[in-house]
Amino acid sequence: MFARRFSATLCALAIASIAYGAAPQQQFAKMGDLQLESKATINDCAIGYRTIGALNADKSNAILFTTWHTGTSRDAIGMLQSGALFDPAPWYVIVVDALGNGVSCSPSNSKTQPGTAFPQFSVRDMVESQHKLLTEKLGINHLHAVMGYSMGGMQTFQWAASYPGFMDVAIPIAGTPRLTSSDMLFLRIVEKSVVDEPAYAGGRYTKNPPLPMYNLLFAMNFDSPAHRSARTAPKDFEKFYRESMASDPDGTDANNSLWQIRAILGHDIAQGGKIEDAAARIKAHVYPINAAQDHLVNPAPSITFARLRKEEATILDTDCGHGALRCAMPAMKAVVEKALR
């Protein structure tokens, strides 16, 4: 879900992917004025995306990959090389930049609705914008698969709920069909850490503010206690603490991060109704992958969802918490490759 630490985890993969071959070109689709489910409108919205591979004649090999919290399509490329999450060679992979990530239309790059004037969007709006991109701009009316990590996994669940027959397979990784109270508690505290930071200035800052409490909250919760205790000796704690608290000068815009966090806070594919009903409407095969010790996204709803559908959730036995990718890539790859067959 959360890019600062997750993108650091992917740094080696991203570097390897660029060495493997030039990163696919950043592309943009001009969507015009994008109406949101709230009836608010994002003016002159552009959706960013990158593609890998070639679409076959019957358009049956298309895969949509969705980005995590503040992650970008460029960040995601490292996950999509042979030997990483899956081998993209047989597929036409569309990696789409989610609303608010600073590449697609966002508080940080809007000319007419900058900063706090930018409308609040939802995870459902992210999916709707991607559906418009595929159908209206790319001429794709069916996908073999949708997948994504963290907030990308939430978008994957929402894709399956919003467009039950649009894909054959949905693979939400470290996602959830709806938030638990523990997920909400964490996110509300993160939200508060941003808005209470004096340098945030109510979102009207002129320089991206340092967010020390925001960074520390992710440092505490991104890994499991066992992982952190094993990897950081007490003698090294002060160094770890200082590095965790420090802000990246080139890091994500604070409003972008906050708008996506608020979108996640509203995530529920059943929209307050019964998850059983939402699960029953989905026609795609759904293969959730979660980590047992994830302290950012509780795996319980994904497990329940799979049981309702008599499908299998993969629960990774690793102490890496939300960053299970760095510890369990071979196990994830095996599940993803099997699901894509």
Active-site residues, by number, are: 150, 294, 322
What CA–CA distance (Å, rounded) separates 69 from 91? 25
- The DSSP annotation for 24-52 comes to PPPEEEEEEEEE-TTS-EEEEEEEEEEEE
Residue 168: closest CA among 59, 56, 331, 291 = 59
In this structure, what token pair is assigned to residue 110? 């809007």
Q: Within 13 Å, how many C-alpha atoms sit on residue 16's CB side?
A: 13
Euclidean distance between CA atoms 340 and 285, whole angstroms: 10
What 3-state DSSP class applies to 233?
Answer: coil
CA distances from 58 to 50, 140, 141, 142, 147 (A): 21, 10, 11, 10, 21
Number of Cβ within a 10 Å radius of residue 235: 7
- DSSP letters, 81-92, are STTSS---TTSE
**Can you say whether residue 32 is alpha, beta or left, with left for phi > 0 and alpha for psi between -120 and 50 degrees?**
left
- Give the type of residue at 133: L
Instruction: Please state the length of the chain.
Output: 341
Compute the C-alpha angle 161/178/222, nearest 5°. Answer: 125
C-alpha to C-alpha distance for 288 and 311, rounded to whole angstroms: 9
Strands 167-173 and 62-66: unpaired
Q: What pairs with residue 94 in β-bridges?
A: 51, 64
Name the residue with tokens 């399509």: 73
Residues 299, 315 contacting (CB under 8 angstroms): yes
